[in-house]
Chain A
Amino acid sequence: MAKHSSQPIRRLLIANRGEIACRIIRSCKLAGITPLAVFSEADRYALHTRLATESLCIGEGEAQASYLNGKAVLDAAIALKADAIHPGYGFLSENAEFAKQVEQKGIRFIGPSPESMRAVGDKLAAKALAALAKVPVAASIGISVSTSKGKDAGKVSNLEALKSFTKTVGFPIIVKASGGGGGRGMRKVYKATELEEAIASASREAQSAFGNATVFCEKLIENARHIEVQILGDHHGTVLALSDRDCTMQRKHQKVLEEAPAPALEAHVRQALHQSAVSLMKAAKYANAGTVEFLLDKAGSIYFLEVNSRLQVEHPVTEMVLGIDLVALQIAVAEGAKLTDLLPNGLSVCGHAIEARVCAENPETGFIPSTGMLSTFSTPQQSTSYFESAAPSSGTLLRVDTGFERGDRISHFYDSLAAKVIVHAPNRAEAITSLRAALSNFLIEGVHTNRHYLLSLLKEESFAKVSHSIDSAGSIQTQISPRERWFAVVAAALWEILGSGQSTGRTARHTQGGLPNAIGACGSTSSSLSPWSLEMGHRQSARQSGAESSGTTSFQRCMLVDSLPCQVEISGLGLDSTHSLTATVKVSNDGAALLSGRVQASISKTGALAFTFESIGREFFFSAKALERFNRGEGIWVHGQTATFRITLVREKLRTHSSKESAHSGEITSHLPGKILSLKVKVGDTVAQGDVLVVLESMKMEHRIEAPSAGRVREVSVTNGQTIEAGKILLSVETN
C-alpha cells in the first residue's frame, strides 16, 4: 500500500474488451485520462479499439492467446507507457499473479492488492476467511484433480473425502470453480453418478475461462435469493458498503436481471449483510471495489457465497441509485484518495434501478450463442448523463452499456453479452415498466437475442412480487408466443404487398436532384399514390365492376420463420388510397392451420406495420428494416413487441429438398461456431441416442453435441482442437 504515490493516473490501459472496456474508456475521458486499449486479432475493429486513444494488438482471437495472456498485456502496457491498468471483469481481473507483476513494473493495478485478492479471490480461501470473520457460510469441500499426464488426468484424487462429504450434506451438490465467476465452471449435481463427470467438465471450463482449474463442492442451497453487497475500500483502512443488489434472476448461474437496492429486504437482514461484507473485506485488508455475494434462503438465513474482487457486470445499477461513477472512484482510490474525502457526506439510495443483459443467443433453441454481423443495432433513446443522476423524482433514466455498434460482429471467441440495458426510476414498479418499454424498442438484427426471454421474465408475477429464487428463471414460461410468431409471418406477407408501393420515390429522389418528394405536387411511378401501388390486384375482367374489379388478389407464400417452415395464404385483398389494406390471411404448416382471419393493416409514419385482426380487435405493431430485401427473396428481421423473428421467403421445392436430405444422410452439424474440445467417438463406434459425440466450446461455454438417434459412426470430419464454422458437418452416424 505504501507503494502508492499520490501521483495522478494519466494513461490508463484497459486490459479488457467489449462493453466494460468502453465503459471504462468513458470514465477515463470524463476524468481527462488517456484511455489505452489492447485487442485481439478478432477485435481489431471492435468498438473499444476504436474508442481508445491508443491501442495495441496482443494476440489471436482465443482469449488464452490475448486477453488472458498476462505477459502480452503487460508488455502492451509498457509499450503504451501506461501508468495504470484497469482489468475490467473476467479475464485477468482476479488474477493475483498478474496484479503482482503489474505492480512490480511500477504500474498501478486498479483493484485490490494481490494479497487481498488472494485472500478473497479463491473461493475456498474466502470461505475460510469469512468463517473467521463470523460470516455465515455453507458446508463445502475442496477437490484435488490429478494434473499428471496419462489416463488419470482430470480424475479426482481425494475421492474418499468427497464421498464422505456428500454423505454428510447429501445431494444436491454444487461444483464450483474456485477461481471462477459468472456461472462458468459451475455444475449442479443431483446424483452421485454424475459427480465426477461434472467435476471434470467444470474443471476444464474453469481452466479455459479463468486459467485456473481448481474446483470445490458445496451443499446446494435451493430456492435462495442472490443478494450482494457492493464494497469500496481505500488505502487508508476505510471499507464502505455501497448499498446492495439483488441478482436472483439467473439462468444456469448466469445473472440475467440485476437490481439495486435489493427489494423486499428486512432492515435487520440488510444490516447483517452489509456488516458481514464490511467485516470480511476489512479482514482481507481490501482496498478498491469488490462485491461480497450471499444467498438468502426462504427462512431468512444468509450464506456467504464468494467475493468478486473486481468491478461487477451489474455495477451500473448501484451507480444509478447512488448517483456515483464507480470506475472514477476506483481510479481515485488507486491514486491514494481517502473515501472520507471522496464521499464526505456519505451516500443515500434514491429510487430503483434494474439492469437486463441482452445476449446474442437464441432462447428458442436452448440458448445457443448466435454470432454474426449486427446489421441493425438500434438502442433505445438514452438519457444524456447518468453518472450524476441525483435520482429522478419523476420520470426515468435509461442507460445502455455496450461494446457494439451497427456493423460490428459478435464473434464466437467471447461471451455473448451484446448490451446491458439499465433503467432508473422512482420505484421498482416503474423501473420494471420502463425497462420493458426500453427492451421493446431495442432493435437488433443480424443475430438472435434473448430479448423476448428478458421481457417474459420482467412480466413474471413472482418477479414483481419478489417471490422468485435463483432457480425460478428455469421454470418460467419464456417461449415466444406462437401468436406473435405467426403474426410476424402475416406482417411479412403484408409488407411484401404494401412494401412495393412504399418504396417511397426511390427514383423520384434522384430525378428531383435530392429535393424532398412533395406528395401531391408531383410524383413518379414509384410513388405510393401511383396507380401501380393502388390498383391492387387489377386483372382484366368483364365480370366484376367498379370497386370490386380486383381480379386475382390472392397468393401464397412459403416462408421460414427462424427455422420453422410455414405457408401464408392471402386472399380478398383490398387497398384504399390511404394505404389501409384489408385481407383474409391463413397461416398453416403442412396443411395444419395455425392462424386465420380477416386483417386490416397499414404502415404507420414510423414505418411500422400496424395490423388488427378482426376477431381479436387489438392492434399489433411490427417493424422491420430493408424491406425491399424481403421482396427480393432475402431474409429480414421482423420485430414484434416482445420478440424478433428472422423471416425468409422460400421456394416450395427448395424447402422439401433440404429437409429430405438432412433426414437421410445422418450428417451431424454444429449449429454454432467454436472449437472442438473433445471428440468422444471414432469411426465404427456404436452410439446410443443421446450419447455425447462432441464437446464444443463456443463463446466460452461448453456445448455438447449428442447423437440424434442410435447408430454407428460412419465418418468423422473434425479433429480435436479444430476451430469450426457454424453449419460444419462434424460427423455422420448411420442409423441402425
Chain B
Amino acid sequence: MKLTSSLSTSSPDFRANREHSERLLGQLGDRLSEAAGSPSDSSIVRHKSRGKLLARERVEHLIDPGSPFLELSALAGLELYEGVRPGAGIITGIGRVSGRECMIVANDATVKGGTYFPLTVKKHLRAQEIALENHLPCLYLVDSGGAFLPLQDEVFPDRDHFGRIFYNQARMSAARIPQIAAVMGSCTAGGAYVPAMSDEAIIVREQGTIFLGGPPLVKAATGVDISAEELGGADVHCRISGVADHIADDDYHALQIMRRIVANLGVAPQSLFDLATPVPPAYDPNEILGLIPAEPKKYFPMREILARMLDESVLDEFKRTYGESVICGFARLEGMLIGVIANDGILFSESAVKVAHFIQLCNQRRIPLLFMQNIVGFMVGKDYEHGGIAKHGAKMVTAVSCCTVPKLTLLVGGSFGAGNYGMAGRAYQPRFLFSWPNSRISVMGPEQAASVLTQVRREGAEHKGKKTSEKELDAYRQEIEARYNAQASAFYATARLWDDGIINPLQTRCVLALALAASMNRSHQQQSSTSQSDFGIFRM
C-alpha cells in the first residue's frame, strides 16, 4: 500500500529541522574532506613526486569507470590519534572491478607511512569480515610500513589484532573468496604476509618491496649493505623468490593486471533476489532533512521517512493493527524486495512478538531485512514485567540472531539499550550497519543515565550516612549527561568503528541498495550453513 504523507514543508518545524540536518551534514562534509587530505600536504606532495598514485586515485583506477564505490568507515579514528587524518590511514570499500563487486583495502602511505594504528587494524578486519560474510573477493593495495610500533600493545597481541588479517586471508581463501594483493610500496615485516598470503600477488618494479626485515635491520643484524630493491624488489620476488607473481611497471599497470586477474576469477555462486525495475519514491527524498527532528525528544515520523525511501513509497504492511510501535512490511528498495522493520515508538511485548514472526517470514522466503533503528528501548513497569516482556523481547533477539538472510541496519535516530539488540545492533552481525549524522547510541539515554547514576550516588551516600548537597548532585548529573551526550554522538561512534560509516540521509537509498546488492554475492547455500529454520528456543 502506498504510504501517504501529511508533511507541510512550510512549517517552522520543517525549516528548523532542515537547518539542523544541514549543519550536521556540514560537519560530516568537513570531516570527509579532512579525511581526503589536501593536495598541498607535504606527505601527499612527497608521495606524488615519486610517481605514485594516491590511495584514493588507485581505487578510482581500479574500479570500472563510472561505477559506484561504497566506501566504508571513512571517518574511522576521527580525533583519536595525533597527526592522523580521519580514515586511520586506510581506505576500505566495495567497488566493481571487471564487473564483479570486490572488497578493496588500500593503505594510505601519506598517513604515517600507512602504518597500522589500532583502528586501522579494526577497519581492515571489518572489511575482511564484510568480504567473508558477503563473499566478496578481496583486493589489497598494499603500501604500508606495518604496525605502528609506539602502540604495539594495542595492535599486535590480541585476537582481533594484526595477526588476524592473515588468519582471515587464509580462511577466506579456503572458502574460495579470492585474495589478491598489489604491492605498490613497502610491505615490511608482518605486512609482507599480505601478498604472501594472497592467491595472486602483483608487485610494482622499483616501487614495491616485500621483506621480513628491511635494509636497516639487515645492516644491524649482519652488517651487510643492501638496497631495498635488491633485497625484496619486484625482480627478486617474481624471478627468484616466487613471493609475487606479476611484475608491474607502475601503479596503472599493477591495477590493470589486478583487473585482469579479477576478470579471470570465473563464476561465483550468488543469491538470486527479487529484482524489479527501480522506481523512485513518490515523495521527494530531499524532504528527509526537514523530517529528522532537531530535538531528539520530538516525535520521529518514521512513516514519512519510509515514504521518501522506498520505491513508489509503497509498503505492504504486516500486522498493521497489532504491536503498532514497530512497523513491519514488504517493500522494494531500488527494485529489490526487502522486509522492513522500523521503530515507531517504544517496544512492547506485542511489538517484539510481531517482529519475531516477521523475521521468520522473511527468513523462510529468503527476503533480506532492513532494520530502521530509532529505539529508546523496551517498555518498563509492573504490568509489562508481569506480562513477560523479557521473554517476548528474547524471542525478538533470538529471531534477529538466528535468521540467515542478509540484515542491514540503519541508525536513523536513537539506539538505546535492549532496543539496539532486538533491532540488529552491531553485536547481531548485520551485514552492514550505517548511521545518519543525527543518530545517537548508548546503553541508555543521557538523561536517564544521568538520573539513574545520580540516584545511585544519592542512595550510596545515604547508605554510608553521608549527606550530599543537591547542588553537588546536580553538577554530577550534568557531568554524566554531558559525557553520555558526547559519547552518544554518531561521530564518536563512527570514529570507533561501531558502524560502517555515517551516511548522508539523502544518499540512503543508494547506499542501502549497493550494500544489499553486494550482500547477494553470497549464495543461499552458503548463508544457511546452519539450516535456515535453526532458531534457538523461543521462550513461550
Contact = CB atoms under 8 A, between A and B. Distances in A.
A54 interface: no
Contacts of B336: 523, 531
A728 to B, nearest CB: 25
B276 interface: yes
Contacts of A546: 284-286, 506
Given A497-B66, A632-B260, A653 B250 contact: yes
A538 B275 contact: no
B61 to A, nearest CB: 9
A540 B98 contact: no
Interface string A516-556: 00011111111101111011111111111110010011010
Contact of B270 (A511, A520, A628): A511
Q: For the side of the interface on A, what is the size category?
A: 35 or more
Contact of B518 (A497, A500, A525, A542): A525
A508 interface: yes
B504 A577 contact: no
A651 interface: yes
Contact of A628 (B71, B99, B279): B99
A570 B65 contact: yes
A541 B275 CA distance: 27
Interface string A652-696: 111000000000000000000000000000000000000000000
Contact of B272 (A503, A511, A631, A651): A511
A510 interface: yes
Contact of A530 (B29, B70, B286, B517): B517
Contacts of A534: 278, 334
A539 B69 contact: yes
B469 to A, nearest CB: 45
A552 B65 CA distance: 10
B440 interface: no
Interface stretch (B154-162, B261-269, B316-324, B391-399): B261-269
Interface in B284-303: 284-286
A507 interface: yes
A683 B279 CA distance: 74
A406 interface: no
B68 interface: yes
Nearest to A510: B267
B249 interface: yes
B464 to A, nearest CB: 51
A296 B70 CA distance: 73
A631 B66 contact: no
Nearest to B257: A633
A573 B74 CA distance: 24
Given A538-B68, A541-B507, A530 B263 contact: no
B237 to A, nearest CB: 21
A4 interface: no
A537 B67 contact: yes
Nearest to B94: A532
Nearest to A517: B272
Given A540-B74, A542-B29, A542-B504, A526 B275 contact: no
B177 to A, nearest CB: 15
A549 B506 contact: yes
Given A525-B521, A549-B507, A573 B66 contact: yes
B80 interface: no
B449 to A, nearest CB: 30
A71 interface: no
Interface string B507-540: 1001101101110110100000000000000000
Nearest to A549: B507
A512 interface: yes
A497 B65 contact: yes
Contact of B275 (A511, A522, A654): A522
A537 B501 CA distance: 18
A525 B74 CA distance: 24
B259 interface: yes
B252 A651 contact: yes
B25 to A, nearest CB: 5
Residue from the set A506, A539, A555, A577 with the largest chain B CB neighbour count within 10 Å: A539
Interface string B47-91: 000000000000010001111111100100000000000000000
Contacts of A496: 64-66
Given A540-B503, A542-B29, A553-B66, A507 B270 contact: yes
Contacts of A543: 25, 29
A532 B68 contact: yes
A50 interface: no
A545 B506 contact: yes
B26 A653 contact: no
Contact of A532 (B25, B256, B514): B514
Contacts, number: 180
B231 interface: no
Contact of B334 (A503, A531, A544, A553): A531
Contacts of A575: 66
A525 B68 contact: no
A236 interface: no
Nearest to B334: A531
A594 B99 CA distance: 30
A730 B536 CA distance: 78
Given A506-B267, A632-B259, A522 B274 contact: yes
A298 interface: no
Given A529-B335, A652-B252, A538 B510 contact: yes
B32 interface: yes
A543 B272 CA distance: 34
A557 interface: yes
Interface in B228-246: none
A511 B67 contact: no
B133 interface: no
A512 B272 contact: yes
B270 A525 contact: yes
A529 B278 contact: yes
Contacts of B99: 500, 503, 506, 526, 628, 631
Contacts of B503: 540
Given A511-B270, A526-B99, A570-B66, A633 B252 contact: no
B67 A653 contact: no
A522 B523 CA distance: 14
Nearest to B504: A542
B66 A535 contact: no
A633 B260 contact: yes
Residue from the set B26, B67, B98, B271 with the largest chain A CB neighbour count within 10 Å: B67
Interface string A576-587: 010000000000
Contact of B65 (A507, A508, A510, A557): A557
Contacts of A536: 66-68
Contacts of B68: 531-532, 535-539
Contact of B263 (A520, A531, A539, A628): A628
Contact of B256 (A545, A628, A651): A651
A511 B96 CA distance: 20
B277 interface: yes
B507 A540 contact: yes
B171 interface: no
Contact of B67 (A500, A633, A652): A500
Contacts of A549: 504, 506-507, 510
Contacts of B143: none
Contacts of B272: 508, 511-512, 522-524
A540 B503 CA distance: 7
A529 B277 contact: yes
Given A503-B99, A507-B267, A524-B273, 13 more contacts: A493-B65, A506-B99, A507-B268, A530-B517, A531-B336, A534-B278, A535-B68, A535-B510, A540-B32, A541-B504, A628-B263, A632-B98, A654-B253
11 contacts: A507-B270, A529-B277, A532-B67, A534-B278, A541-B504, A549-B506, A570-B66, A631-B259, A632-B98, A651-B249, A652-B252
The 9 residue pairs across chains A and B that have the minimum distance between CB atoms: A523-B275, A538-B68, A542-B29, A531-B513, A497-B66, A542-B28, A545-B506, A500-B64, A535-B68
